[in-house]
């Protein structure tokens, strides 16, 4: 009996290699098996470049003189339904049909309106056997950012902050004081390279002068930056305005583009502010967003119910006073130590 799950797990491992590079596309891995032996594999490596199925088929041709014959007796495993439409690349379903691969095993369906079952339907209409929903939960979780953007028309939202043992977020005088340790800081830099954008409020930008980038890996992808500056009061000497990456400044004063600085004017900062921000970022193809502060900005999104995941570092210090950390409840996914800090990960409880 063929172990479909074994090969699908390999698809997931391959797909994850595309983290941080394929957005706003999904991460996808593909494995081609002939007589219980992998003869080719591939993943979607970068947005606009060939999809996983294309790379897997190419690997077969690169490594086997009898590739065409092998493919006619093979099974291709794909973590996400093969596409059926022309985008930046031709349809992968057509590639499978062209090479007469007789069996396709799919992890989960693609909710994108131009796919959503059409790839599977095209394959079956061509006489290809399709097996669905192998490790479906794992495949869905891998691309939760992509699915959130497609289904909710907003980015996947990760809240991140550090707090003291007595739940203080920052000094009340607006000064900068570190709570988390060096290992936690390195981990945050890695997270930034895995997501599309990082957001902070005006007070955090002024107090901390953050770069909001990954400074620990020279070849890492750098996230876009987002700052809320209602009246455009921030000093232009801040790192956020250094033009190094695309930066969105939400405000009530102007809409303009000045190099990498994109000013997005909103009519009001009073009503539905998180909703307006997220929709504008959705229009900019931002698939995932880390919100790093300040406390009021984080609480704004929490109170609106617009978050998917929270990553909270709790340090060893006790301050006794200061700005209180945001208040949040959710489903606890994990508690683990990161150096001397406790890292708690929560997921938003979904409405039934």
- 206-229: per-residue pLDDT in tens? 999 999 999 887 777 899 999 999
Cα Rg of the chain (Å, integer) = 23
How, if at all, do strands 129-131 and 103-108 pair? Answer: parallel
Q: Is the peptide bond before 294 cis (omega within 30 degrees of 0)?
A: yes
Check: CB of residue 311 under 8 Å from CB of residue 291: no
Task: Give me the pLDDT at residue 153, please.
Answer: 95
Q: Residue for token digits 């950390």?
A: 325
pLDDT at residue 352 above 60?
no
Helix H or strand E encompassing 227: strand 224-228
Least confident of 44-53, 107-116, 263-272, 292-301: 107-116
pLDDT at residue 203 above 70?
yes
Helix H or strand E encompassing 70: helix 67-71
Q: What is the DSSP string of 234-274?
A: S-TTSGGGSSSS-EEEEESS--EEETTEEEEE-S-SSSSHH
Task: Give me the pLDDT at residue 217, please.
Answer: 77
pLDDT at residue 88 above 80?
no
Task: Give me the pLDDT at residue 351, please.
Answer: 41
User: What phi and psi values does residue 108 have, to the nearest 5 degrees?
Assistant: -155, 160
309 a catalytic residue: no
Residue among 13, 41, 53, 258 flagged as catalytic:
53
Q: Any idea what the Cα angle at residue 78 is, between residues 95 and 41, rounded to 5°? A: 80
Q: Token pair for residue 77?
A: 């495993």
Q: How many other CB atoms sit within 10 Å of the CB of residue 299?
A: 17
**Distance (Å, rounded) from C-alpha 115 to C-alpha 137?**
19
Say which DSSP state 346 is in: E
Check: CB of residue 107 under 8 Å from CB of residue 8: yes
**Distance (Å, rounded) from C-alpha 69 to C-alpha 63?**
13
Task: Give me the pLDDT at residue 165, please.
Answer: 96
Say which DSSP state 350 is in: P
């Amino acid at each position: 009996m063929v172990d479909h799950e074994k090969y699908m797990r390999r698809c997931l491992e391959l797909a994850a290699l595309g983290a941080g590079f394929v957005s706003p596309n999904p991460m996808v891995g593909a494995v081609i098996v002939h007589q219980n032996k992998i003869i080719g594999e591939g993943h979607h490596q970068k947005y606009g470049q060939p999809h996983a199925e294309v790379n897997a088929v190419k690997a077969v041709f690169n490594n086997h003189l009898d590739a065409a014959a092998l493919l006619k007796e093979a099974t291709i495993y794909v973590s996400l339904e093969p596409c059926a439409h022309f985008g930046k690349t031709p349809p992968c379903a057509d590639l499978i049909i062209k090479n007469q691969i007789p069996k396709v095993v799919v992890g989960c369906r693609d909710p994108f309106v131009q796919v959503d079952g059409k790839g599977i339907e095209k394959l079956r209409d061509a006489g290809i056997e399709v097996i669905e929903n192998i490790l479906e939960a794992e495949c869905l979780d891998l691309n939760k950012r992509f699915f959130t953007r497609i289904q909710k028309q907003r980015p996947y939202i990760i809240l991140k902050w550090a707090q003291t043992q007595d739940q203080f977020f920052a000094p009340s005088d607006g000064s900068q004081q570190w709570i988390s340790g060096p290992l936690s800081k390195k981990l945050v830099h890695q997270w930034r390279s895995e997501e599309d954008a990082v957001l902070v409020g005006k007070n955090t930008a002024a107090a901390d002068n953050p770069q909001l980038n990954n400074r620990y890996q020279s070849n890492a992808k750098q996230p876009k930056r987002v700052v809320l500056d209602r009246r455009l009061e921030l000093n232009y000497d801040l790192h956020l305005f250094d033009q190094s990456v695309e930066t969105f400044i939400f405000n009530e004063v102007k809409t303009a583009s000045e190099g990498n600085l994109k000013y997005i004017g909103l009519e009001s900062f009073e009503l539905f502010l998180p909703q307006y921000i997220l929709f504008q970022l959705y229009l900019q193809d931002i698939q995932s967003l880390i919100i790093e502060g300040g406390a009021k900005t984080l609480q704004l999104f929490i109170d609106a119910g617009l978050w998917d995941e929270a990553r909270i570092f709790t340090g060893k210090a006790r301050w006794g006073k200061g700005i209180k950390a945001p208040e949040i409840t959710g489903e606890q996914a994990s508690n683990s130590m990161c150096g001397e800090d406790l890292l708690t990960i929560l997921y938003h409880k979904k409405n039934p």
